Chains A and B, each alone.
Chain A
C-alpha cells in the first residue's frame, strides 16, 4: 500500500487538487450568491493588483495631461474656432428640439408618464481588465467609499458601458455589455420594437427576441428601454449592423456598440436615478407667457412721469432675462417665468392669474436633472410679480392682492437681455416692478413672436441703458 502511494504520489496529488477544484466550482455554479471564502480570495487578488494599476494610471494621466495641456497645443486655436462654429449650429438645433421636447413633456404629463432622470453620477477611471477573453469586465478606480453599489449603470457620453458587478472598498468591477452573461432592455429607436441586448462569446452585441416578421434595418439605433431597472430609458446602446433570420421566430440582430468598449478610459457610474413626472411647463413656459402676452389687449400709456419711473426698472436686465447658457443648463436652476400673466392683465383679473402662474412656476421648478437639460437659448422672462412681492408683503398684502402692472414693455435680447453668463445678479434683489411699473417681457431671440408688432411704449429715458447687464 505504501509503495503504491509513493509510486503514484504525483497522480494522487493531482487528482486531489483537481477534485477539490471541481467540487468548489460546482458549488459556486449552484449557488447564486458568492460565498465568503470566494469573496475573500477575490478581494485579496483585486487588492493586490489594482493599487499598481491605479498608480500607473495616475502617472500616465498626469504625464498625458502635462503634455497635452501645456506642451502640445498645436492646432488648438483652429480647433477652438471649429468648436465655436459647432456650438452655434448646435444651439440652433437645440432651440428647435427644445420645442419638441417641451411638447413631449406636456403630453407625457397629461398622460401621467414618469420619466427617469439621471440625478447623480460619479466619474471613474478604468484602470484594468480581467485579462481574459471570456470575462469581459473592467476595473474602475471608484468603490464602496465613493458610493458605488452593485448593479449601478455605467455609461459614457456615447452610450452605455455595463453595470457594476462587484464592489470593493476603493475599486469596482464592471461587467461590460458585450459579455455573454450581461443583458439590458433595448428598444429600436424608429420602430419602438423592444428586445434584450446581450453579449456573445465573441464580444459582440445582439438584440434578441425581436420577431422575425418585424422590419429592422441596418443603421437603426438601439436605445435602452429602461425595463431592466438598471439603465435609465433612452440611453444609446448602439447601431444595428446586420439583420438575419435567427433561431425559431426571432431575428438575429447584430449591434455595433455606441461606446468603444475596447478603449474605455473614463466612465460615469449612475449613482442616483429618480422617477418623476415630467413637468408640462418645462421649457415651454416662457413661450406660453409670450403667447399670452400677445393676446392681451394693449395697456393705455401712462403719463410721462410714471412712465419715466417705470422705465428705469423695466429696462434693467434681470438675471432671468438672458439666454440660458447651454453648457450648464443641466446643472442650473430651472427657469422661472419672468412675467406673471396677471401682471399683463387689467387689474380686475389679477387674483386668478396669480394662482395659475404660481402653479406653472412650481411645475417648472421640478425640471432639474439631465433630462431637463434641453435648455434652449431662449430668453427667460422676469417674474414681475415676484419682484413686486416684497413690496406687496411690506404693504401687508397677500400676493393675490398685488396690483397688476399697467403697461407692457417689450425687451428684445439686443437691448435689454444681453447675455450675461454669471448668475451674480440672481442673488440681487429684483430691481423691477414696483406696483405701477411696466413688466419686462423678453421675447425669445429666435422666436417669430419677437418680430411681431406689440404695444411698445414710447422711447424711455436713458437710465435703462446706464444699468447695463455688466454693472
Chain B
C-alpha cells in the first residue's frame, strides 16, 4: 500500500457535478437516518463522514473541503435533538484536514484510503467527544477499542463507497 508523497501539481484534482455535490451528501444523511432504524448496528457507521472524506480528498481544496464538511455536519445535526454545530465543527475540521492531506499525498489507492479513513474517523470522534463534553455538557465515555473497531468498520465500508463514488468524478 504505497502512500506516495507528491507535489500539488502532480496530484490530479477532480470536480463533481452539482447533482452529485448535493445528492450524494443528502443520500448519505438520509441512509444514515433510515438504515439505523431497521439495522440498529448501523449507527456504528458514519456515512456522512465517509462522504466528507471522499469529497475533500478528491477536490484537494481545503476551503472546499471544510465547507462541504461543515454543511454535511450541520445537516446531520439538524436531524438530532442536540444543538446545531456538534457534528458541524467536527466535520468541518475533518474536511479541512482531509483535503489538505489529499493535496499532499496520493490517496487514490485502497490501502491509503483504508488507513486515512481510520485516522480521520478517530480524529472525528475525538473532536466530537471534546465538543459534546466541553460545550454541550453531555456525559460520554471514551473507549479506544470501540473507536478503533468502529474506525476499521467504517474504513471497510468506505473502500466500497469510494470505489462507487469514483465513477462520479470529473477530471478538471
Name A's B-contacting residues (CB within 8 A): 9-10, 13-14, 17-18, 21-22, 24-26, 28-29, 38, 41-42, 44-46, 48-49, 52-53, 56, 126-135, 137-139, 165-166, 173, 175, 179-181, 200-202, 262-264
A357 to B86, CA, bound (A): 65
The interface residues of chain B, by DSSP majority, are classed as: helix
21 A–B contacts, CB within 8 A, in A order:
A13-B62, A14-B96, A22-B135, A25-B85, A25-B131, A26-B135, A28-B85, A29-B135, A41-B84, A45-B78, A49-B30, A49-B33, A126-B37, A129-B36, A129-B43, A130-B36, A131-B36, A175-B81, A180-B138, A180-B139, A262-B40
Contact assessment for A46 and B96 in the assembled complex, using a CB-CB cutoff below 8 Å:
no
Q: Report the minimum CB–CB distance from A32 to chain B (whole Å).
A: 12
Contact assessment for A49 and B135 in the assembled complex, using a CB-CB cutoff below 8 Å:
no
Complex interface: chain B residues within 8 A of A18 (CB):
89, 92-93
Contact assessment for B66 and A46 in the assembled complex, using a CB-CB cutoff below 8 Å:
no
User: Which has the most chain A C-beta neighbours within 10 Å: B33, B87, B137?
Assistant: B33
Query: Among B51-59, B68-76, B116-124, which stretch is in contact with chain A?
Result: B68-76
Complex interface: chain B residues within 8 A of A138 (CB):
37
Once A10-B63, A24-B85 are accepted as A-B contacts, the answer to whether A131 and B33 lie under 8 Å apart by CB is yes
A232 to B85, CA, bound (A): 35
- Not counting A41-B74, A201-B139, a sample of 20 additional A-B residue pairs whose C-beta atoms are within 8 angstroms of each other reads A10-B96, A10-B100, A14-B66, A14-B96, A21-B88, A24-B84, A25-B86, A25-B131, A25-B135, A28-B85, A29-B135, A42-B78, A56-B34, A128-B33, A128-B34, A133-B44, A137-B80, A137-B81, A181-B81, A201-B141
A173 to B96, CA, bound (A): 32
Name B's A-contacting residues (CB within 8 A): 26, 29-30, 32-34, 36-37, 40, 43-44, 62-63, 66-67, 70, 74-76, 78-89, 92-93, 96, 100, 131-132, 135-141
Complex interface: chain B residues within 8 A of A21 (CB):
70, 85, 88-89, 92
Contact assessment for B132 and A134 in the assembled complex, using a CB-CB cutoff below 8 Å:
yes
Once A18-B93, A28-B83, A46-B78 are accepted as A-B contacts, the answer to whether A130 and B33 lie under 8 Å apart by CB is yes
